[in-house]
């Protein structure tokens, strides 16, 4: 595979990751969100493997496998079990309406593009053009967390942020050292268990997973 073909494939995958990030932003049905998140993880792991193949960094294959297991299989499965146990059926309403959210998302993409221009100028990697997409995914995950009212969708936004961070690591550098990646993966797994426990606590205490209901701790006058 020549460098430019790999760069093109990587660009296509980056575009797909960005597309899934936007899709997560506007999707209303909870299983739709779950599937989009799984697809995002899949594109991410394929991209890591492609970069590993082109740059001949074999530890990226391990990272790719790790991403695949964790983000495409384990985490969606945990979320699926939680959704079934918590009997979440309804559509999720957003705080801000959908077209406005999309416009803010586009603004964030442009912002992240301008913010990462120094890195693009300095980078010699084949993946330098995708760092803007990585930061955009992080910011879109953040936007998703802000504009959603349901606890599960906030967590999916958080996980999508982590996806963006991982993508940033493979775009700017050829992946962080393996010990760091394993540690990050472990942290995410622990976080997954914790938020699983959390959902049950929230559901028991509030009888809903709508986080707008959790507004008792405020400044008193």
Partner 1 sequence: MSVAIPYILDGLQIIILLFAAPAFAGWVKTLKCWFQGRTTAGVLQPYRDLMKLLHKDIVLAENASWIFRFTPYVVFGSVVLAGGIIPILSIDLPLSATADIIALVALFTIARFFTALAGMDIGTAFGGMGSSREKTIASMAEPAMLMAIFTVSLVCKSTSLSQMVQVLAHGEFILRPSLAFALLSFVLIALAETGRIPVDNPATHLELTMIHEGMILEYSGRHLALIEWAGMMKLFLFATLGIAAFFPWGIAAANDFPALFIAALSLIIKLFIAGVSLVVIETGLAKMRLFRVPEFLGSAFLFATLGMLSYFMLE
Partner 2 sequence: MTILTLLGVSFIGALILAFVGDRKFAPEINIVCSFATFVASIVLALRVYHDGPFVAGREFFFIDAFSVYLVVLTAFVSMTTTIFSKPYMRREREHGRVGHWGMRFYHAMFQLFIFAMFLCLLTNNVGVLWIAMELATLATVLLVSLYKTPTAIEAAWKYFILCGVGIALALFGTVLLYFAAEKVLGEGGEALLWTNLSQVSGQLEPTVLRLAFVFLMVGYGTKVGLVPLHNWLPDAHSEGPTPISAVLSGLLLNIALYALVRCKVLVDGSLGTHLAGNIMMGFGLLSILVASFSMLRQKDIKRMFAYSSIEHMGIATFAFGLGGPIATFGALLHMLVHSLTKSSIFFTVGHASQMHDTQEMSKIRGLIRGNPLVGWGLMLGVMAIVGMPPFGVFTSEFLILTATMKDAPLMTPFLLLGLGVAFAALLRRVQPMVSGHIPSWQHPLKASHVPVILHMVLILVIGLYMPDFLSRWFHMAVELLK
Residue 46 to residue 114: CA distance in whole angstroms: 26
Q: Least Å distance between CB 184 and partner 2?
A: 7
DSSP tally for the chain: helices H, then strands E:
9, 0
Site size with partner 1, rule: CB under 8 A: 23
Burial status of residue 142 (CB atoms within 10 A of its CB: 0-12, 13-18, 19 or more)? middle
Residue 130 to residue 136: CA distance in whole angstroms: 10
Q: Which residue's CB is nearer to partner 1, number 113 or number 198? A: 113
What six digits make up the tokens of 165? 């961070």
Q: Least Å distance between CB 118 and partner 1?
A: 15
Partner that binds at residue 144, options partner 1, partner 2, none, CB closer than 5 to 8 Å by kind: none
> Does residue number 84 form part of the binding site for partner 2 (CB under 8 A)?
no
SS3 150: strand
Residue 171 to residue 173: CA distance in whole angstroms: 6
> Does residue number 8 form part of the binding site for partner 1 (CB under 8 A)?
yes
Partner that binds at residue 118, options partner 2, partner 1, none, CB closer than 5 to 8 Å by kind: partner 2
Query: How far lies 34's CA from each of 7, 79, 81, in Å?
Result: 28, 8, 11
Q: Which residue's CB is nearer to partner 2, number 30 or number 161? A: 161
Main-chain dihedrals φ then ψ at residue 24, nearest 5 degrees? -60, -35
> Does residue number 58 form part of the binding site for partner 2 (CB under 8 A)?
no
Burial status of residue 71 (CB atoms within 10 A of its CB: 0-12, 13-18, 19 or more)? buried
Binding positions for partner 1, rule: CB under 8 A? 8-9, 11-12, 14-16, 18-19, 22, 26, 98-99, 102, 105-106, 109-110, 113, 129-130, 132-133
The residues that touch partner 2, with contacts defined as CB under 8 A, are 115-116, 118-119, 122-123, 135, 138, 142, 145, 151, 154, 158, 161-162, 165, 168-169, 172-174, 176-177, 179-180, 183-184, 186-187, 190-191, 194-195, 197-198, 201-202, 204-206, 211, 214-217, 219-221
């Amino acid at each position: 595979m020549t460098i430019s073909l790999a760069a093109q494939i990587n660009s296509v995958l980056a575009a797909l990751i960005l597309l899934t990030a936007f899709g997560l932003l506007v999707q209303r049905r909870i299983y739709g969100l779950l599937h989009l998140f799984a697809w995002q993880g899949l594109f991410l792991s394929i991209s890591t493997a492609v970069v590993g193949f082109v740059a001949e960094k074999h530890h990226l294959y391990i990272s790719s496998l790790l991403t695949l297991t964790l983000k495409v299989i384990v985490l969606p499965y945990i979320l699926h079990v939680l959704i079934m146990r918590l009997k979440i059926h309804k559509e999720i309403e957003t705080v801000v309406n959908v077209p406005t959210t999309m416009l803010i998302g586009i603004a964030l993409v442009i912002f992240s593009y301008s913010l990462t221009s120094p890195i693009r100028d300095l980078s010699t990697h084949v993946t330098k053009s995708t760092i803007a997409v990585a930061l955009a995914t992080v910011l879109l995950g953040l936007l998703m967390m802000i504009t959603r009212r349901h606890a599960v969708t906030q967590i999916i936004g958080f996980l999508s942020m982590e996806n963006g961070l991982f993508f940033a690591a493979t775009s700017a550098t050829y992946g962080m050292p393996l010990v760091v990646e394993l540690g990050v993966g472990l942290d995410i797994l622990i976080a997954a268990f914790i938020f699983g426990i959390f959902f049950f606590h929230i559901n028991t205490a509030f009888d809903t997973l709508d986080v707008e209901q959790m507004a008792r701790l405020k400044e008193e006058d």
